[in-house]
Amino acid sequence: MFNICTKYGVIWDISFNPAKSHLATVGDSNPEANLQLSNKSLDWSCKVKYLGLYLMSGANFRIDLSVAKQKYYGCFNNINSVTRQQINELMVLKLVKTYCLQRLLYGCEIWPLETTHIHELDVIWNDGFRRIFDCCWRDSVKPLQFFCKSLPVSYLTDERQLIFFNKL
């Protein structure tokens, strides 16, 4: 297959960069094979970056959400530091939904979400509500989300995946 890609690249004047290409396996460990693209060896990797997330090789297809969480928290903290208490909570929520939530959910249409991932994302989103509205950590934010017309992240990811697959 790599030879076909190389020939196609020569015909259509496309140059593949083997330094930016990585090999990873799903379902087993990386084999001891030397594969080449454009007569240059490709490196085996235990994680591959795709849509800003890392796909992890191994026994199962897994993703690493740490980058998405870092981007969300960075954006959330920037908004909080700028707004402080000078703006109403609904405006802060609108800013967070517009800018931060998109960073957390970027590429969620292809995520093979496990129960632990879904719970972790819901906790992050709920904690954001608690910080915006100055709630106690024990308080449920479900009524607050309902009042603000906001869905839990688990529902948002399901919604985005349904829309994505409906377009296929």
pLDDT at res. 56: 78
pLDDT at res. 93: 92
**How many CA atoms are closer than 13 Å to the CA of 44, on its beta-carbon side?**
12
pLDDT at res. 50: 75
pLDDT at res. 85: 65
Residues in the chain with pLDDT < 50?
A: none
- Kindly report the number of other CB atoms within 10 A of residue 63's CB atom: 22
